[in-house]
Amino acid sequence: MKLNYQNMLNTPKTGIQITENEMKMQFAKVQNIIEALNHGEGDNQDKGVPMLGWQTYARDITPAEIQKIQDAARNLADKCDVVFIIGIGGSYLGPKAVIEAVYGKNYNDVLKTKLYFIGCDTDPDFYAHCLKIGEDKNCGVVVISKSGTTTEPALAFRFIKRLIEQRQGKNAKDFIIAVTDAKKGALRQLADGEGYATFVIPDNIGGRFSVVTPVGLAPIAIAGIDIAEYLSGYKKALPLIDNPDAEKNPAALYALLRFLAWQKGAAAEYQVTNSAFFESNLAWTMQLEPESEGHYGHGLHVVPAVFPRDLHSIGQLIQQGPRDLIEIATKILTPRADLPVPLYADDTDELNYIPQNKLTLNDINKMTIDGPLAAHYADGVPNMTIELEKITPQNLGEYHYLLMKATAIQGYLLGHNPFVQPGVQFWKDKLFKLAGKPGY
């Protein structure tokens, strides 16, 4: 994993201007922030609990705990045709990002046990579609909720629970895994009363940082992905990402350059990739960063984009629109497969130059991100790139820890607690009032 950031500096034309000296002047401050995070210091509490458990979870989880998750996942997958994953926010974005990165968007084409994510919306058409899929099939569910009363996943669980009960009767409990609080909450109470298999969401890890916990590990394991390998990515990254020397720490540089860009007027950040398999990781980032940073008028609007697809929609705005944006690209250097481009004698589409120049499809795919990034920089858009050699569970673990740590550093640079999200309660209150919830 490598961060290239030179194109965040000295942007041509009228773009956001950051100099290397301005960056270096902040290194001492960033070093203090990293040391504070490493030692559990700073503004990091939610309801009196320091929310920094994600920094050490992968290191501290035992082989026996990993095996327990894998065994439960395998047991559920082996007896089910379909498993529904119920969650919202970090409770589904993280596992979905890993599963799609490994198998692609059409993961159900290769999985024996089909997986469907539900509970992240309230669309009756999608619910009906899922229930139709589950008709006359052995269905299981992983329901992920710390409280058990979050509206969207709780609604979904009502429907899926009934679907399972109608087919399995008194054995329904054997087809349900609950990932929830250790001791309290509606889902914990129900799980203990019904005898569901359970895994714990640690008190000191918030949803958007939770993919490293059973929130992510249980669904990932059901998909047949080696969760020990995924966790090894976090452990491999610890010495690099926890290093207080900002100049040698890619998470520190990533956070600092985003912070300086925001200080100088950046309003939007395009998170881009040239890998269709990687797109859901951008959606995960779209929660991780804004929900952590969007306090007191702070933060960047995160816009995910896949190149070259989205160059044909937003490419014009990036090239010649407002100069209040930056780009962060994640490049996959080595795909699982590479394809030679067919050569045709008639060359009616004028593409024979590609195979004649001995370029493969992967060569072109690299150029469809390198070329646009160079063009955007030349027109005043700062950008940096994260390079992953290839998509593996371990590399995904490294990548996720980099972004989690960078997000925490960014929150401290902004001067607020990046582990709470008080603003979401406002729209929830309006929803509850419209729905006639008692007390609203």
**What confidence score (pLDDT) does residue 46 get?**
97
Examine the residue annotation and report whether 312 is marked as an active-site residue of this protein. Answer: yes
The residue count of the chain comes to 440
Which is the catalytic residue, given 47, 132, 312, 358? Answer: 312
**Residue type for position 112:** K
CB atoms near residue 363 (< 10 Å): 14
Examine the residue annotation and report whether 39 is marked as an active-site residue of this protein. Answer: no
- 143 DSSP β-pair partners: 86, 178
Which is the catalytic residue, given 100, 291, 293, 398? Answer: 291
Which is the catalytic residue, given 428, 430, 433, 437? Answer: 428
**What confidence score (pLDDT) does residue 14 get?**
81
DSSP string, 116-133: EEESS---HHHHHHHHHH
List the chain domain ranges. 2-42+232-414, 54-225
Distance of alpha carbon 293 from alpha carbon 104, whole angstroms: 29
38, 242 in Cβ contact below 8 A? yes
**What confidence score (pLDDT) does residue 13 get?**
84
CA distances from 208 to 51, 283, 307, 401 (A): 11, 11, 25, 12
What CATH number is given for 54-225 in this structure? 3.40.50.10490
**What confidence score (pLDDT) does residue 15 get?**
84
Distance of alpha carbon 117 from alpha carbon 96, whole angstroms: 8
Distance of alpha carbon 61 from alpha carbon 55, whole angstroms: 12
Dihedral sign (CA 188, 191, 195, 201): negative
* Residues of the chain scoring pLDDT < 50: none
pTM > 0.95: yes or no = yes
Asked if the domains at 2-42+232-414 and 54-225 fall in one CATH topology, the answer is: yes
Examine the residue annotation and report whether 291 is marked as an active-site residue of this protein. Answer: yes
Note the Cα 23 to chain centre separation in Å. Answer: 27
407, 288 in Cβ contact below 8 A? yes
Phi, psi of 149 (to 5 degrees): -120, 5
Place of tokens 């130059």: 353
| Topology of the domain covering 2-42+232-414 | Rossmann fold (3.40.50)
Distance of alpha carbon 111 from alpha carbon 73, whole angstroms: 14
Structure tokens at 123: 């669309």
**What confidence score (pLDDT) does residue 35 get?**
99
CA torsion 187-419-330-1 (nearest 10°) is -100
